[in-house]
């Protein structure tokens, strides 16, 4: 780069997580560890999406505590307010304003075809409109910051494609405004199955490990993990390629250790309990610094609030500029006609 060349702009990354208390192993493996890695290379915005959370109901008295717990988890695993913007969705009202404006360009048929809408709708006798419109708010979350990319799992790819479609429709109707945000899907990381080996890791299903769990709790959770269903006795040869515990080892062990685990499994020279103990110890080792940082933050909740308040101010600076542009393009800046 010559002295006259402008510095290249970092790609802007946006993502968020619903607050249901402290983060868990699935959140960490599927998202948070990757977010931490992205901070040095990208312009990152991390959100706690509390307005998404209310679409599923829940106790409003618990929600503020869940927001704080997730914020502590964010900071404990290494999200850095000096490198990223970290904030709570409801502190930036432009999210819901843009979501309403996107209703003007989003066909209801597109929303009804969403796989997650079909799944969630089955839980309700009377389906809340928020369940249908959830992807519109998600599109607003992303496009409000004109994000270049969103780190997502395969299960969120359809939602991001809708976001790209919303951007295309808005641009066609009102002029070039939004980017077609790219899905950033990590190769080799598919759906993170829970310890039951059946469903995606979920706090509500109890098939995961809290990120801030101590050694005893980690072991109590991991020892229940389902392994190769055909390996009944310790002396039975195992099949690591179908064992969910072995798939989790990939996130915590290097190549030599993985090979040793697989070899001893196939040769029936190490039992499943011992194999799970190795996984438990590795999880504990990874999570110990998180737990220590969390203990410090819990003692200073005012520091967490300060970080979230500052993040909201920084987020609103970007969001406000986008909304001003959108209002102008949609003819909502009526004062401009007066002069």
Active site residues: 120, 200, 203
Distance in angstroms (rounded) separating the CA atoms of residues 254 and 259: 9
3-state class (DSSP) for residue 36? helix
Distance in angstroms (rounded) separating the CA atoms of residues 89 and 68: 13
- SS3 string, 215-235, reads HHHHHHHHCCCCCCCCCCCCC
Q: DSSP state, 153?
A: -
Distance set, CA 190 to CA 25, 153, 185, 199 (Å): 14, 7, 9, 13
Distance in angstroms (rounded) separating the CA atoms of residues 142 and 154: 17
Closest CA to 138 of 118, 114, 121: 114
Q: Where does 106-177 have alpha helices with state H? A: 108-112, 115-121, 129-143, 157-174
Look-up: residue for tokens 């066909």? 107
CA–CA–CA angle 149, 81, 311 (5° rounding): 80
CA–CA–CA angle 100, 50, 205 (5° rounding): 125
Greatest CA separation for the chain: 85
Q: How many residues does the chain have?
A: 339
């Amino acid at each position: 780069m010559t002295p006259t060349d402008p510095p290249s702009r970092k790609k802007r990354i946006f993502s968020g997580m619903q607050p249901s208390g402290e983060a868990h192993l699935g959140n960490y493996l599927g998202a948070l560890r990757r977010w931490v890695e992205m901070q040095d290379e990208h312009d990152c915005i991390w959100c706690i999406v509390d307005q998404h959370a209310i679409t599923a109901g829940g106790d409003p008295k618990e929600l503020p505590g869940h927001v704080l717990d997730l914020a502590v988890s964010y900071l404990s695993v290494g999200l850095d307010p000096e490198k990223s913007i970290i904030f709570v969705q409801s502190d930036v009202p432009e999210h819901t304003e843009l979501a309403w404006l996107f209703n003007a360009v989003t066909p209801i048929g597109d929303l009804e075809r969403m796989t997650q809408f079909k799944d969630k709708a089955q839980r309700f006798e009377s389906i809340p409109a928020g369940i249908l419109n959830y992807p519109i708010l998600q599109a607003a979350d992303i496009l409000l910051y004109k994000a270049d990319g969103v780190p997502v799992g395969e299960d969120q790819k359809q939602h991001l494609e809708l976001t790209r479609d919303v951007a295309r429709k808005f641009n066609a109707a009102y002029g070039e405004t939004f980017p077609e945000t790219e899905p950033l899907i990590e190769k080799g990381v598919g759906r993170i199955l829970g310890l039951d080996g059946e469903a995606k890791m979920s706090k509500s299903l109890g098939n995961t490990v809290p990120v801030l769990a101590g050694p005893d709790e980690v072991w109590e959770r991991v020892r229940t993990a389902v392994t190769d269903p055909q390996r009944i006795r310790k002396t039975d040869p195992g099949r690591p390629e179908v064992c969910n515990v072995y798939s989790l080892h990939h996130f915590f062990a290097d190549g030599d250790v993985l090979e040793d685990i697989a070899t001893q499994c196939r040769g029936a020279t190490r039992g499943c309990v011992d194999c799970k103990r190795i996984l438990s110890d590795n999880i504990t080792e990874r999570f110990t610094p998180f737990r220590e940082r969390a203990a410090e933050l819990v003692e200073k909740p005012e520091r967490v609030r300060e970080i979230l308040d500052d993040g909201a101010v920084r987020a609103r600076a970007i969001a406000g500029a986008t909304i001003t542009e959108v209002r102008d393009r949609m003819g909502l800046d009526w004062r401009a006609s007066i002069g």
